[in-house]
Structure 1
Amino acid sequence: MVSLNGSRSAADGTAVPMTPGDLVESALAAVAAGAGEVLVHPRTPCGRESLSPRVMGPLLEALRGAGTGVGARAGTGVPVGVLASVAAEPGPAERLARVRSWAVLPDRAVVRFAEPGAPELAELLLERGVGVDAEVPVGAEPGPLGRFLAWPVRDHARVRLLLELPSADPGWVVGTHRLPPVPLLLFGREGAAWPVLRLAARRGTGARIGVGDVLSLPDGRAARTNAELVAAATRAREDATAGIR
């Protein structure tokens, strides 16, 4: 998965795509470099994250119209996901109302279980036919993981667990065999991004990279594009898996 923009702003440099046109171009290049999924944080023209159908709908249509996620909702193509979070809509009730108002649906949506109202939001997304990526930070307070474990996952095929790890210490995921039988994706941010990606490769789980999570390449050089990060991630995963054969 490539995280196209995350919570970044223009202040983070030219590697961060900001306009709809830049996001489409970045997505296409990242997919060409090997990304199997696209995650985007829709934004208003002034740069504020938004779940408004007037903001999100045109962006999703532009991404799919350019070939990024064509046919993904029918089971083919590259899935396009969004983040449904406090940053875009602070109140739990307001987030639910936004999801109900969507006319153009993403393939998946990230739900942060560290935020209030996460189980209800996840249920509504599933009811609307949107896959759920349950994001849980590991190593902080145990509440988010507890809320996820307490949520009765009824549709394992459309739910995935995204564990955000603070480091590549394998101990963080020792107990994952006790989790519900859903696909697992590991990711880190900033200094943890590349070590965790290599850990994900060794464990055979999904992984995420992109300027939304990290702005530098494994050798410390500044990344110029999401595609450059994806290409470096492909090489890093191949190197990590080669070491365990």
Structure 2
Amino acid sequence: MNGHGGWGGSAPVLQVVLNGSRGAAEGGAVPMSPQDLAESAVAAVAAGAGEVLVHPRTPCGRESLSPRVVGPLLEEMRGAGVRVPLSVPAGVDAEPDPEGRRERVRSWTVLPDRAQVRFAEPGAGRLGQALLARGVAVDAVVPLGGGAGPEPLARFLEWAAPDHGRVRLVAELAEADPALVAGLRWLPPVPVLLYGRDAAAWPVLRLAARCGAGARIGVGDVLHLPDGQAARSNAELVAAARDLRGDGAAATATAASRC
């Protein structure tokens, strides 16, 4: 693997997921309004995040792919000074219908730098093509372990992406099992980012560091620091992740060989 966020290439990216599926009831560390999300992104980038993943939501809290929701949020974040790549998910939670997702993507007036496409969901390949046609890079999300089964990874392998340079494999690991990652070495030469949720978040981040892969952290995935204390912000989680990763020093061929 090579490229930004992959093995044996440039320093692996650390992406912050600002909100995910979290709501206000899950604590004050979860930013809710566009202004809060922008402020959280600025602080997380200052702490060391190299990318930002944000889930656009309507005022009532529902995830949305509407240009009236996505565009203003991206403009708010860029206007606040966020200069790293911005990513949004393009999934079932925001729009259940596969054709509806493609139509939403085609209607965007303000474009993110990247968008997540979950290959466990129907229509992933065509959605990925629609994003690439608009100039939006694709993060192909594939679950590994935990009973996920081989189908999502097989769909990604069958997907004839026209430009591997704008595609990244984002593997959601149910646990920090090196065997789950070892098989990724035989995939097409695209960058790789690894992440886990809740109890798996920190062990998977450590595994990503050992492998020299990209990683993800933020309140969208985990609400606690490695020592079990409640995180006060995305920036605090990013700072802890940087400490665990050794500031990206694991992105070497030697590190990858230990994975």
- Compute the TM-score of the two structures, normalised by the length of structure 2: 0.89
User: Which of residues 120, 136, 141 in structure 2 aligns to 1:130?
Assistant: 136
Q: 1:105 aligns with which of 108, 111, 135?
A: 111
User: Does 1 or 2 have the higher relative contact order (CA < 8 Å, sep 6+)?
Assistant: 2
Q: For 1:81-120, list aligned pairs within 5 A.
A: 81-120=87-126
Separation in structure 1 between the aligned mates of residue 59 and residue 177 of structure 2, nearest angstrom: 40
Unaligned runs of at least 5 residues, structure 2: 1-14
CA contact (8 A) 1:43 1:49 kept: yes
**Equivalents in 1 of 2:25, 2:143: separation in Å?**
25
Tell whether the 8 Å contact from 1:3 to 1:40 is kept in structure 2 after alignment: yes
SS at match of 2:94: coil
CA distance in 2, matches of 1:20, 1:182: 32
Partner of 2:40: 26
CA distance in 2, matches of 1:24, 1:173: 33
Rounded to whole Å, the distance in 2 between the matches of 1:158 and 1:12 is 34
Deviates more, 1:26-35 or 1:164-173: 164-173
**Could you say what secondary structure the match of 1:173 adopts?**
helix
In structure 2, the residue corresponding to 1:214 is in which secondary structure? Answer: coil
Report the AA paired with residue 9 of structure 1.
G
d(CA) in 1 for partners of 2:50, 2:249: 18
* CA distance in structure 1 between the aligned counterparts of 2:69 and 2:162, rounded to whole angstroms: 31
Match of 1:65 among 52, 62, 79: 79
Aligned partner (choices 218, 224, 230) of residue 238 of structure 2? 230
**Separation (CA, whole Å) in 2 of partners of 1:240 and 1:54:** 37
CA–CA distance in structure 2, aligned partners of residues 147 and 95 of structure 1: 18
For 1:200 and 1:153, how far apart are their aligned partners in 2?
25
Which whole-Å CA distance do the structure 1 matches of 2:126 and 2:177 have between them?
Answer: 32
1:205 paired to 2:213: yes
CA distance in 2, matches of 1:130, 1:158: 8
Q: Deviations over 1:145-193 (max 9, x none)?
A: 1110110122111000000111111011111111111000000000000
What is the letter of the counterpart of residue 220 of structure 2? G
Query: Identity, % of aligned pairs?
Result: 71
Match of 1:49 in 2: 63
RMSD value, Cα: 1.6
| 8 Å CA contact retained: 1:106, 1:130 | yes
SS in 1 for 2:36: helix
Q: TM-score, normalised by structure 1?
A: 0.94
Return the alpha-carbon distance in structure 2 between the equivalents of residues 177 and 154 of structure 1: 20
Q: C-alpha separation between the residues in 2 aligned to 1:218 and 1:132?
A: 30
**Residue type of the alignment partner of 1:192:** A
- In structure 1, C-alpha distance between the alignment counterparts of 2:102 and 2:77, rounded to whole Å: 24
Residue identity in the other structure for 2:16: V
- Against the structure 1 CA distance between its residues 62 and 240, is the aligned structure 2 distance closer, same or farther, given a 3 Å change threshold? closer
TM-fit CA distance, 1:111: 0.4
Given residue 222 of structure 1, which amino acid in structure 2 is its aligned partner? A
What residue in structure 1 maps to residue 7 of structure 2? none
Select 1:188's aligned residue among 173, 176, 196.
196
Change (3 A) 1:102 1:216: same
